[in-house]
Amino acid sequence: MICTDRKFGGSWGALKQLHRRGLPSRAGHDRRAQKAPRSLTRAAYSSAISLLLFALLFLAAPSPLSAKPLFGEVRYLSVERIYSAPSLSGYLTDGVEWEPDSQRISYFDSDDYGQDIATLDVQTGKNRVLIGARVLAAAMPPLLASAIQPTGLGRVQAARYLWSPLGNALLLIGTDKLALLDLDTMTPRTLVDSSDSSDRASAQIDDPKFSPDGQWVSFVRGWNLWIANVDTGQLRQLTTAGSEALRNGDLDWLYPEELDCSTAYWWSPDSSKIAYYQMDERPVERYPIMDMISPVGAIFYTRFPEAGTANPIVKVGVVAISGGATHTTQWMDTGADTNVYLPRVVWLRDSRRVAVERLNRAQNRLDLLFCDAATGASQDVLTETDPYWINIADDLYFPLVQRTHRLSPLLSLRSFGKADRAAHQRKLADQRKWRLRPRRGQPSDRG
């Protein structure tokens, strides 16, 4: 916009003023010009010049249809584009895992040949391809589509690969197969194969893990715990009698959905034992769900505890991986009341005790138990109560005190009440004052 006359406020002001006063006729122009003030005459001429310049600029301006946009090509957002790939938010990085040396992270990437696995040095920011797309495509077991709407643990995408703690191999995970990829030779080797089973539910492999020493791979199949030797491929079944109604090491609907549990079994730090949930689902009501992939509309059933109805009866067991064909489970004593939750299980560093959190049904009392893995005997360590509700979190840890190589009796003070925290601090102070040591012949807390 051009503004050449302050009195009329520029060309738009001049247009308004001239519109109000009317343009003089040619017949009366001389007479009015003789009587018109000089300021008005100058204003009229200035307005006319402004109008002329405005018209020239308007004619010289490019058409809106032909003008180049300020930030590149204009593309209109359609409904199809909103719901098409790639996402308007960009691509999310999948398969992010720390390498065992904690110096690099690995992740899925793509090149001209498909999906590969790359690594990123966290110090320098440099990345490189670890496993090329062709090698990965040949080694990766297939992942079958699920017909079930994901709830609970199903809402979290399962890992497609795991690093060996030794850093020399990757465990590649499929629906019914596990494969080991040697990173030195880039040669895959099938570790577990259940694809020949006629029962899909019994063949599916869930929640695979490496043992801390990297010598075993554990997994759940047919609602039972299994382990496979990394070197020989030898399989061992650690639990028996598992079923849809009696789950060994396998989560139900309730625990991941309401208590944010991500697994139902835990390796001991020394790789000699596994603690696991046994979930008795028989008291829980079954509900029919339609299989949306089935061409005939097949129905399957899932157990769902409504508010106030029966929950699964959950126990914590410990089974040793050594032995022959049979393995005996030692059950932990978590109390006579089975109408409770056991939301967290953590091994102590000595691999001889298991910490179990016990939460009442009203969720306003939380007990911390230490259980002897060999006998099942338990000890109440701490109790927290709240008039309303206690929040469950993942911050129960057992750090090793470096100076004395002893374990702190309580590893997470995150939620236990003030009185319990004060009592614990007094206990620690007494230990420091009297320099308590395990008596000779008693097990120490070396982890």
User: Is residue 298 predicted with pLDDT exceeding 70?
Assistant: yes
pLDDT score for 367: 96
Q: Are 192 and 218 in contact (CB under 8 A)?
A: no
Residue 425 falls inside a structural domain = no
Phi-psi region of 198 (alpha: psi -120 to 50; beta: other; left: phi over 0): alpha
pLDDT score for 438: 39
C-alpha distance from residue 317 to each of 248, 251, 285, 286 (Å): 9, 14, 25, 26
- DSSP-derived secondary structure letter, 406: E
pLDDT score for 208: 97
Q: For the chain, give the mean pLDDT.
A: 79
In this predicted model, which residue has the larger pLDDT, 15 or 103? Answer: 103
Q: Are 218 and 225 in contact (CB under 8 A)?
A: yes
Residue 12 falls inside a structural domain = yes
Residue 350 falls inside a structural domain = no
Q: What is the pLDDT of residues 10-69, one digit of tens each?
A: 444 443 443 444 444 434 444 444 444 444 455 555 666 666 666 555 555 555 445 555
Q: Which one, of 246, 170, 252, 169, lies nearest residue 206 by Cα?
A: 252
Least confident of 87-96, 188-197, 219-228: 87-96
Least confident of 229-233, 243-247, 283-287, 416-420: 416-420
Residue 226 falls inside a structural domain = no
pLDDT score for 379: 96
The domain in which residue 56 lies consists of 1-64
Strands (E), 222-320: 224-229, 235-237, 246-248, 265-267, 273-280, 286-290, 299-303, 313-320
pLDDT score for 74: 73
pLDDT score for 144: 75
CA angle 220, 224, 226 (to 5 degrees): 60
The sign one gets for the Cα dihedral 222, 226, 230, 234 is negative
Q: What is the pLDDT of residues 401-420, one digit of tens each?
A: 444 444 444 444 444 444 55
pTM above 0.85, yes or no: no
In this predicted model, which residue has the larger pLDDT, 185 or 156? Answer: 185
CA-CA distance, 239 to 233, in Å (whole number)? 18
How many domains is the chain partitioned into structurally?
A: 1
Q: Are 216 and 228 in contact (CB under 8 A)?
A: yes
Strands (E), 294-352: 299-303, 313-320, 329-331, 340-347
How confident is residue 393, by pLDDT bands cut at 50, 70 and 90?
Answer: confident
Residue 43 falls inside a structural domain = yes
Least confident of 142-151, 294-303, 385-394: 142-151
Residue 46 falls inside a structural domain = yes
Residue 44 falls inside a structural domain = yes
Residue 5 falls inside a structural domain = yes
